[in-house]
A and B are shown apart, each in its own frame.
Chain A
Amino acid sequence: MFPFRYISLGILLLILNSCEEPFDPQLYEEEAQLVVLSNFSPNSPIEVYVSVSQSVVEQNPTAYLSHAEVDVLHGDTLLISLAPAAKMDGERVVPYYTHPSFVPEEGRVYTLRVRAEGYAPVYASSYIPQQVALDSINLENLATETPEASSDEEETQIYTYDIKLRFLDPAGEKNYYHLNVYQQIKKEIPQGDTTLSDLLTYKIFFSPVLNTNHITVNHDGGILLEDTPFDGTYAHLSFPVRFVLNLGQGEELGDLLVEFRSVSREYFLFHASLSKQKEQGENPLQEPVLVYDNIQNGYGIFAGFNTSKDSLLIGN
């Protein structure tokens, strides 16, 4: 047994030392393509960001294109050509395309066409679904918990409650929604002998355990919904929320703001698949999650949505 063990050990060392090596992905390489990002609603002029994709091993900042031709069409009819513009993002200048007088309309299908030298022209279509307002929204099962803290500064209070909403899903069509919940926090900031008050707004993040075929917890906050379980009827939904208030840092609860978006299929699929890709983690043995895009010959998303808003105060 003893010598046998060492013969085998030598072989296993060989195995374990050799089990990983760099792989040249040349076979699978793809050309960079245009990336188009635009979520549009009837509340503001359409904005389109155009950039270029890069290889996954690269770590360069987003390469925006500021000289692309960006047109909005309805069917084959050109509605408008968007003009280049720019926004400041910190010290960074971010180019985009817009037209101050062009505000998209509910129910109309728009086609976006983007052309840039060196890249295949890309196309995408979407629409703004009809606005769906919440019938009612309230909180239930509110409970608080104050964990033991090692110092006053670390004192926290945990709020748990269910947020319940009710709305009428329009019949005869497939509908998608995005519920966003924001918690306002009033923060007292001592400044010498003065105490300043600030109002901060935090997005509520839900637990991915809620994920089902028809509910996806959005990676960037809120919940994405598909109407299959309540198609054409009143939807009664309830989602648990858990929020930690840092009492030791002078935080007080403010209003709870609710934004309820009715969104296009493209919007839903893109955000839902993106959320699942981000939620999956880095296990190389797991099946990858593909992110939806509706950009022909390119990547990204061009998707419409519509919004209604509401607010509540915890405890009321």
Chain B
Amino acid sequence: MWRGLYAGLLIALLPLCSHAQDDPLSLRLSLQVQDEPLEAVLIRLMRQEGVLLSFSPNILPARRITVELENSSLKRILDVLLKDTGLAYERIGAQVVLFRAKPEKYTLSGYVVDAQSGERLISATVYDEASGKGAVTNAYGFFSLTLPAGRLELVIRYLGYQTQRRELVLDRARHLQCALQPALVLREIEVVAAQSPALAYPLPVDELKENLWQQLPRLGGERDVLRTAYFMPGVQTGADGIGGLHVRGGDRGQNLILLDGVPVYDVAHAGGLISLFTDEIVKKATLIKGAFPARYGGRLSSVLDIRTREGSLKKWEGMAGLSMLTSQLAMGGPLVKEKVSVFASARWSHLGMYLRPYSRNKKREEGGQGALDYDFFDLHLKLNYLISDKHRIYLSLYRGRDRFSNVDEKRDTLLAGQNPDQRKLLFGQNLQERNEWGNTLGVLRWNFLVSPRLFSNFSLTYSRLDVLSDYFRGEQLTDLGDSEVLDEFGEFRTARSLVQDFSLKTDWDWVASPVHHLRFGGGATHHTFDPGLWWGFANNGTQPEPWESNAQALQAAEWWMYAEDEFQLGSRWSFNLGLRYAGWQIRSEAFHVLEPRVAAAFQVANPLQVRASLSRMSQFVHLLSNSEVGLPTDLWVPATAKTGLQASWQTTLGLDLKTRNGWMGRTEAYYKLLQPLLALSEGAQVRTNWEENITRGSGRAWGIEWELGRRKGPLEGWVSYGLSFTNRTFERVNFGRPYPLRYDRRHDIKAALTYAPKNWITFSCSWMMNSGLAFNLPTQQFAVDYPGLPDPDPIFIFGDKNEFRMPWYHRLDAGVTLRFGQKKPLKHNLYLGVYNLYNRRNPLYIQLQEQLAVSAGELEVRREFQQVFLFPVLPSLSYAIRI
């Protein structure tokens, strides 16, 4: 208490103390002052009324007093005079000593919301310039900031919104709702480093919902958060997005992709060209490539956390959009104003509308019949019920489905042999394919603000991926002379698979102080895997021989707990230390894993910080695939006693630079050891007993990434370069020898530029160039050609696995976004662009094709290499109208 007292300038008025008594605070006085400094008023009290006051003038604020108090106690008078000054007093003997009160700490908590819709904003910063402390809102827009009592100068910021400044006196625990106005220029998807203003932040993430990225050119006019992720350094995919997400040497099945906290097992439409995350529903998308916080687990390579919009609590809004690939409608608004909101969106493709007539004509031109058809849809519904400031309930539902079919019937007439024995043959081919797959997701969530510093969240979630695939191929060679069937072949297949999860989980945020944040939680999931597969085959007129795989439905239980402590030591060091425990039970086997997570940052100088991290990750569900691009028929299977789990260690070391004038730089080196890893044994087909066809091995990935960009002003840009290496070693792949991963792209350059001279127009272009995919091509052949053996088939020599490299992938896209009527009720948004501007033919794959031909009267097979690519130069167009 005495620490606040300045000893030097003690004023004591002893001879004038005519009113000294036992309790000077009960002394009754009158005071009338008009606009006088506080110090003068106190001196007047001492001189005129004989009060014994002791204080240092240095602690007095520059406040002017106007007061009129009649016959009031000294206590009452001092309370009035010292109100909101941060000063306190205490009687010591006959004296009353004034001192700087040891500041009480109070918690300022609340939500940051969109002023127009009332939707909560994730990762907004609430920063007190007076104390230099700040907080970042969590996934539900909540923040908590415990500070000494006194006047706060708050700055509330969120990308794409106008910065808000507020002053308030923190004299008690307070709840604050900060409503930010959207900036005039529409915000779009982007990626930047998110940082707490007060902390050197040890967990770098890529935010995928920002201006720069949302303005970038789009394939078919379709804006897509997953395609934005492909633009991040360290993220690889195949040509034009076919092949899925591969992060820092990871596999497609090693990404934890969450939609409102629910794991999604297949995020691709059209083989990966488009994701199921309609841009209109995405509120926030975050990609984590390393330094994984303990609250995330279950996959080895990355976390893509997507949060969806809730719908406005204040007014109804709607949107209708049309791109070359899809149409969509979205609508949201208050069911009960300021209490209950709803948001619904629907998107459906119109690819089939083009594909059916086109493919029918093309097949007819080639002498066949049939048609190709493909379409998909996405439906999303979110309800948000604000029960009170402390309680909130969300219900989020998603359903999407893809349907693909192909019917192809061909008949060719061939002449075989020489005259006069020449025969006329009819070669008939019949192909019928039907594939359907889709995700169903649901989450019921309850947010409960236990106290201003303690935020809790309870979720009940459901996730399901089901796949159905039918296939029939038949071939028949008939002699047209006598109608004799010379050769006949038929193959049919039905495959279906299902993975389904029910989860219950809870997550808690405790904000101990602005520099100390504790998160903890746990949960459990019941998994069902039903990789039921059938296969059938018939040949040369024999009875169809049914083959049935012995895959059985399996149930598994998964549970986890975690604790994560984020804190600052001194003014330069910050840490995020976490530990995650996960368990898995299947049949009678159980697995237990402990995953330490450590991340640290050191603020070298104001704009510059160094970061390092170490993460252990485990995975109990595995994606089995023997395709190069990822097909819906790939199989999700559980870890069993026979297969074991997958695990990885990743360490990173990075440097961040962020200047006030908008320049941002980042470099990060990483080393990842994936061990054990699982894969299908070479040549194994997923239709057979998957558990007996898995091989264990390991992988390594290492590299370094550089990024530099500017995010301020009308001209924004960004460039990145990644150098990476990744390989795999499996006992039963490539005969146990190490080989490069298909997505081992050594060099990876990506650049983006946007220019918005006016609010209504933005020009954009992007360019990427990376090393070709590792792959195999047959080069030589021979035959096991012994006398006595039937006609030998050729054996193709592929070399070592992934020994060759495809040509470099590069592509330039450009576009312009026009916005009209932004201040009117009807807002129009038109996008015009060109994808692959200089018509680079980037191969999706290269294949050896065989064609039957007649040469000198004899049937022969001709072979040639074909490069298959998806998109030449492609104009893109989309239009959206909003109310």
Q: Which residues from chain A sit less than 8 Å from chain B, CB to CB?
A: 1, 4-5, 7-9, 11-16, 18-25, 27-30, 32-33, 35, 37, 49, 51, 53-59, 62, 87-89, 94, 147, 156, 158, 207-214, 220, 242, 244, 269, 273-274, 276-280, 282-292, 299-300
Contacts and interface: CB of A to CB of B under 8 A. Distances in A.
B547 interface: yes
B498 to A, nearest CB: 20
B545 interface: yes
25 contacts: A11-B324, A13-B358, A15-B874, A16-B359, A19-B868, A20-B868, A25-B846, A57-B865, A62-B783, A87-B787, A213-B694, A214-B692, A244-B543, A273-B735, A276-B683, A277-B795, A280-B685, A282-B850, A284-B847, A285-B628, A287-B626, A288-B776, A288-B798, A289-B683, A290-B799
Contact of A9 (B354, B626, B845): B354
Interface string B326-367: 010000000000000000000000100111001100100000
A288 B695 contact: no
Contact of B358 (A16, A88, A147, A156): A16
Contacts of A25: 777, 779, 846, 865
Contacts of B820: none
Contacts, number: 211
B777 A28 contact: yes
The number of chain B residues touching the other chain, given as a range, is 35 or more
Interface in B842-883: 843, 845-848, 850, 860-872, 874-875, 877
B62 to A, nearest CB: 68
A8 B324 contact: yes
A37 B783 CA distance: 9
Contacts of A20: 866-869
B785 to A, nearest CB: 4
B682 interface: yes
Given A54-B781, A56-B778, A207-B545, A277 B683 contact: yes
B689 A56 contact: no
A23 B778 CA distance: 13
A20 B865 CA distance: 10
Contacts of A208: 547, 685, 688
A211 B535 CA distance: 13
B872 A15 contact: yes
A15 B626 CA distance: 27
B570 interface: no
Contact of A14 (B628, B841, B872): B872
B433 to A, nearest CB: 12
B681 interface: yes
A118 B865 CA distance: 28
Nearest first, the 9 closest Cβ-Cβ pairs linking A and B are A276-B683, A212-B692, A23-B867, A284-B847, A89-B787, A289-B683, A53-B780, A35-B782, A23-B865
A240 to B, nearest CB: 10
B628 A211 contact: no
B779 A30 contact: yes
A294 to B, nearest CB: 10
Contact of B692 (A11, A33, A57, A213): A213
A56 B863 contact: yes
A273 B535 CA distance: 21
Nearest to B803: A28
Contacts of A282: 850
Interface string B744-784: 00000000000000000000000000000000111111111
Contact of B689 (A14, A212, A280): A212
Given A30-B797, A88-B787, A283-B627, 8 more contacts: A21-B869, A22-B866, A29-B779, A53-B782, A54-B780, A59-B862, A211-B693, A273-B682
Contacts of B780: 30, 32-33, 53-56, 299
B787 to A, nearest CB: 4
A160 B627 CA distance: 34
Nearest to B625: A287
Given A56-B848, A269-B735, A288-B798, A62 B782 contact: yes
A62 B785 contact: yes
Interface string B672-713: 000000000111110111001111000000000000000000
B868 A5 contact: no
B322 interface: yes
A287 B730 CA distance: 15
B688 A37 contact: no
Given A15-B872, A53-B797, A285 B629 contact: yes
A7 B877 contact: yes
Nearest to B869: A19
A27 B803 CA distance: 12
A55 B797 contact: no
Contacts of A158: 543
B683 A279 contact: yes
A12 B797 CA distance: 36
B542 interface: yes
Contact of B863 (A59, A210, A278, A279): A59
Given A13-B358, A211-B693, A212-B693, A276 B682 contact: yes
A269 B186 CA distance: 61
A45 B776 CA distance: 38
Of the listed residues B780, B868, B874, the one surrounded by the most CB atoms of chain A closer than 10 A to its CB is: B780
Contact of B845 (A54, A212, A284): A284
A209 B869 contact: no
A7 B878 CA distance: 12
Contacts of B781: 53-56, 58
A286 B626 contact: yes
A270 to B, nearest CB: 9
Given A24-B865, A280-B683, A284-B847, A274 B795 contact: yes
A4 B322 CA distance: 9
B228 interface: no
B787 A94 contact: yes
A290 B535 contact: no
A212 B358 CA distance: 43
Nearest to B537: A207
Contact of B353 (A5, A32, A292): A5
Contacts of B683: 273, 276-277, 279-280, 289
Interface in B608-648: 626-629, 631
A309 to B, nearest CB: 18
Interface string B796-820: 1111110010000000000000000
B863 A57 contact: yes
B48 to A, nearest CB: 87
Contacts of A58: 781
A213 B793 CA distance: 24
A303 B330 CA distance: 67
Contact of B861 (A33, A59, A274): A59
B356 to A, nearest CB: 11
A23 B846 contact: yes
B865 A209 contact: no
Nearest to B846: A23
A87 B681 CA distance: 39
Given A15-B874, A56-B863, A291 B547 contact: no
B492 to A, nearest CB: 13
A11 B848 CA distance: 28
A261 B472 CA distance: 37
Interface string B717-748: 00000000000000010110000000000000
Contacts of B689: 209, 212
Nearest to B359: A16
A277 B796 contact: yes
Nearest to A49: B786
Contacts of B626: 286-287
B114 interface: no
A15 B324 CA distance: 13
A291 B795 contact: yes
Contacts of A87: 787
Contacts of A13: 358
A34 B362 CA distance: 44
A193 B629 CA distance: 64
Contacts of B848: 56-57
